[in-house]
Structure 1
């Protein structure tokens, strides 16, 4: 039933777009004919031997009216396909959950914390089958001190960042002018998953290409998702905003403070999950990633972000080599 409705909407939109195109074609054809007639009259005047006749007729000769700016055809792919995209995103989440121990209830052993080194407080969260599946690609990440804005303070072996009003000492040229910090790790292939605990709303989580600007270029407080080089999820008090290339999609608010980010470079997917009380898909970006991707974050004054670590989670060999080269 849903498929038939979507196909009907697509067919209706196609018919409307074709009707617009045919109307514009007839309009342009009429304008071309008027231009051809005008050119023919000019040629006749140029061949006129009588100067008086030339002057009289040239004064009454008027060119065709200007076309003005051409408006593009109205075609909104999200209108007929928006519901279908949302349905497919939810279906992907359900299939992942079903693939991992379908029907298995959470037991006492599934209520363990996501561990982090002292003095970080472990974040308890029930481990549903989907989350356990995502853990197969878990990465223990750290913040990059060099990239941190001067109001952002790192602690706990660079796993935690806090925004304070008092700025630090002058920072280098690689630090963000905005209230942002990126991770020390970057991903170029494979599938990777990590979890972030937020102290409150008014934070942005995302990924970016290395050339993401360190400077403030516009009116926004962050640049994650504002251009073509980054993708971001902004957690607000009353809603969630998914940003990419300056376009935004408003999503319902979330209640938990623990989020998961799943990056699949082979499929070209970046998926965000709310993990409290169990894993729930928030949004998926689809893109053809062509460069290495770096996790990046923005946080308002007074906020704290924590990169949660899991015991036994290891980086892929290529990332281990890169980390050794940087140290």
Structure 2
């Protein structure tokens, strides 16, 4: 029983641990030298136990007797640690006690007194446990980064090889086409003269037929007009005797002229004849069996000379994109979250920002120019693609609590706070946003974009897929809530969610993770 009592007497009232280099104040109370100095830095010069104030310049004095007692109790002093303990180098600035806990709500290191007072309703973990967890996450990120570096180097080598092959193939094809066109032009000139001659002959024949019909129709029309004049004159005759005499002399009505003979002119037939003439000439250039080899002869062949084939151009589909497709998710827009100026179509796969509202705002819809997907992700790895009609769009992910209301002058809030991450694509620049911090990126991507979300390693990577697949930016974070894809777009813009026929179905709606109050 004496040992615990002696241990209580040799305990510092600030750090609640055994005295280390004890010192004494003028009031007689003793403390660790570092504890009392750290306490005086953030508080007034008073005794932590009796609250007796001390004038400026007062310094604690080393307690020789207490130091000797501690040396006897401790025995031989062990060799000093190469690195001081966390409690020796970090004390709470508010309470002067060692930092032994980590407040996940505020993201701060705290002491035991903080967990009782300021952080009593927060989510708290042991500092060393949280440190090990964060270190494991960082090591996982390092492994993923190394894999990405290896993959990127391999892809770079493949693209360089493809670049050389394409250049060589393009140069050879250009040389072949140039030589072929000289021959094709000669044949085309001959075919042009023949075609124009046929068109002229057909035109002359058709015009002659039309002229003949015009003359026949004109004669008939004149005869009809004379007969009509005689009949009208007879109807105006008053004398009955004269009427019947002239009626007997009136000839019979003219018979109908009958159907006109249509001219033999068919424009569509002339075009069909032209296509039939040109088709063999085009085949000389376009058909594979008529394209020469790279190592072919340098002499110019004749117009109808058969040619040998070129070697095929290698497939340029990026292996990285094929690998990303293994985790492809088919998504749909959530109509209940769409801004009232947004028009959803194609079974909620396409959204357009119109200039007229589509109706009153729905409960839960964005007052901002934004729309959210119906699907969310909390575990695993997921990839999706979207095509933009133009620039001035933002792609991102967000926790469920992203506000729907407009705050300030911004028309979007993706990446403006700690609960969302976004990539803003403008006409001449790209910006990565998170927690109100912006990272400007070089270059401007194509209109086809991809997003890869790896919740296991805490990575969110954006890709540009045109003209080839390349990563744009990667966010690193500890995602502890469900993530929803979210988008912002300017007036007149259109976004389309791309679907893969063989893609895995996205997981069902996730329940929102409750945060300790």
Q: TM-score scaled to structure 2, two decimals?
A: 0.41
Q: State the 1:255 CA deviation.
A: 3.9
Larger Rg: 2
Residue 61 of structure 1 corresponds to none
Residue 37 of structure 1 corresponds to 55
Residue 495 of structure 2 corresponds to 305
CA 1:92–1:203: 2 relative to 1, 3 Å: farther
Q: What CA distance in whole angstroms lies between the structure 2 residues aligned with 1:269 and 1:251?
A: 18
CA 1:309–1:160: 2 relative to 1, 3 Å: same
Q: What CA distance in whole angstroms lies between the structure 2 residues aligned with 1:282 and 1:96?
A: 15
Give the secondary structure class of the aligned counterpart of 1:298.
strand
Spell out the pairing of 1:188-267 with structure 2 (5 A cutoff).
Answer: 188-267=378-457
From 367, 370, 380, give the equivalent of 1:177. Answer: 367
For CA contacts below 8 A with separation 6 or more, give which structure has more relative contact order: 1
Cα displacement string for residues 152-209 of structure 1 (whole angstroms, at most 9, x for unaligned residues): 1111111111101101111212110000001011001000000111111110000000
Q: What CA distance in whole angstroms lies between the structure 2 residues aligned with 1:284 and 1:224?
A: 16
Spell out the pairing of 1:43-82 with structure 2 (5 A cutoff).
Answer: none
Q: What CA distance in whole angstroms lies between the structure 2 residues aligned with 1:126 and 1:311?
A: 21
Q: State the 1:97 CA deviation.
A: 4.6
Q: What CA distance in whole angstroms lies between the structure 2 residues aligned with 1:273 and 1:92?
A: 17
Q: Would you say 1:146 and 2:312 are equivalent positions?
A: no
Q: State the 1:99 CA deviation.
A: 7.4
Q: Would you say 1:288 and 2:478 are equivalent positions?
A: yes
Q: Would you say 1:163 and 2:353 are equivalent positions?
A: yes
Q: What CA distance in whole angstroms lies between the structure 1 residues aligned with 2:446 and 2:145?
A: 19
Q: State the 4+ residue runs in structure 1 displaced beyond 2 angstroms.
A: 35-40, 87-100, 102-106
Aligned length: 232
Unaligned regions of 5+ residues in structure 1, if any?
A: 1-24, 41-86, 107-124
Q: What CA distance in whole angstroms lies between the structure 1 residues aligned with 2:372 and 2:495?
A: 12
Give the secondary structure class of the aligned counterpart of 2:323.
helix
Cα displacement string for residues 257-311 of structure 1 (whole angstroms, at most 9, x for unaligned residues): 1111000000000000111111111100000000000000000001111111111
Q: TM-score scaled to structure 1, two decimals?
A: 0.63
CA 1:300–1:90: 2 relative to 1, 3 Å: farther
Q: What CA distance in whole angstroms lies between the structure 2 residues aligned with 1:193 and 1:290?
A: 19
Residue 51 of structure 1 corresponds to none
Q: Check whether the contact 2:376–2:509 (CA below 8 A) recurs between aligned residues.
A: no
Q: Select the structure that is richer in strand.
A: 1
From 458, 461, 466, give the equivalent of 1:276. Answer: 466
Unaligned regions of 5+ residues in structure 2, if any?
A: 1-36, 46-52, 59-141, 163-314, 511-517
Give the secondary structure class of the aligned counterpart of 1:95.
helix
Q: State the 1:96 CA deviation.
A: 3.5
Q: What CA distance in whole angstroms lies between the structure 2 residues aligned with 1:276 and 1:244?
A: 25
Q: Check whether the contact 2:450–2:462 (CA below 8 A) recurs between aligned residues.
A: yes
Q: Check whether the contact 1:254–1:274 (CA below 8 A) recurs between aligned residues.
A: no
CA 1:92–1:299: 2 relative to 1, 3 Å: farther
Residue 54 of structure 1 corresponds to none
